[in-house]
Amino acid sequence: MPESLINDSSHSSSGLSTAMLGGTPALSFRFSVTFFFPIRINFSFPDLMPWDMSFQKVSGIGAKISTHKLNEGGENLFVHRLPDRVEYENLVLERGLLKLPPVPIISSLHSMFRNAMEQFEIKPCDVLVVLHEKAGIPISAWRFRNAFPVQWKLSDLDANEESIVIEHMELAYQNMWSMRI
């Protein structure tokens, strides 16, 4: 079989191996999430509590360009597809439902979701998701501008199953920037 037909990911087109280029794929389980509130929501406690930055899963980091079709008069073999706008998925954060201290501490993140869902008060904030390498050094990050709550829910409560209750928080946002560090 000709060498050009062999799919070997350890070699690049320049003949250098992935290891020589330092291109090791990143692992997805070391990440942090930080919220940047424009104003303080809760003045009696810090803006973010330690549990506001701890999530077991982050999903929805993505974008796509929507297109619209344009038919050309007399042309029946194809349709032009023209770029329309960039669309973003919702940012989804999941974690186990936390047992909070007996003191009624309400963090800014909790307040943001509670105010949005109970009083329809929308106060957007920026969110930063950072992917870390083994030593904790950031290797990539994504900034979500003007994020606001669009969904909050708990996993099913099931008497037949002993499982952790998962808190699901979903945010829409204006745009996203990807940063390679």
User: What pLDDT, in 10s, does the model give residues 65-84?
Assistant: 999 999 988 888 999 999 99
Please indicate whether residue 59 or residue 76 has the higher confidence score (pLDDT): 59
Domain count across the chain:
1
What's the chain's length in residues?
A: 181
pLDDT the model gives residue 51: 56
| Amino acid (1-letter code) at residue 55 | F
pLDDT tens, residue by residue, 111-159 = 888 889 999 999 899 999 998 888 888 889 999 999 999 999 998 888 8
* CA pair distance 107, 50, nearest whole angstrom: 10
Residue 170 has pLDDT above 90, yes or no: yes
Q: Is residue 138 part of a domain?
A: yes
pLDDT over 80 at 101, yes or no: no
Query: How much of the chain exceeds pLDDT 70, in percent?
Result: 73
Interval 38-46 mean pLDDT: 53
Residue 19 belongs to some domain of the structure = no
Check residue 22 and report its DSSP letter: T
DSSP character at residue 5:
G
The DSSP call for residue 20 is H
3-state secondary structure of 53: helix
Is residue 6 predicted with pLDDT exceeding 80? no
Judge residue 112's burial from the number of C-beta atoms within 10 Å of its C-beta, 0-12 exposed, 13-18 middle, 19 or more buried.
buried
Give the domain extent around 163.
26-63+92-180
SS3 132: strand
- Domain-embedded: residue 167: yes
- CATH number for the domain that contains residue 157: 2.30.110
Residue 131, C-beta contacts closer than 8 angstroms, at least 6 positions apart = 26, 28, 30, 31, 138, 139, 140, 141
pLDDT of residue 94 exceeding 50, the answer is: yes
Name the least confident of 43-57, 93-107, 144-158: 43-57
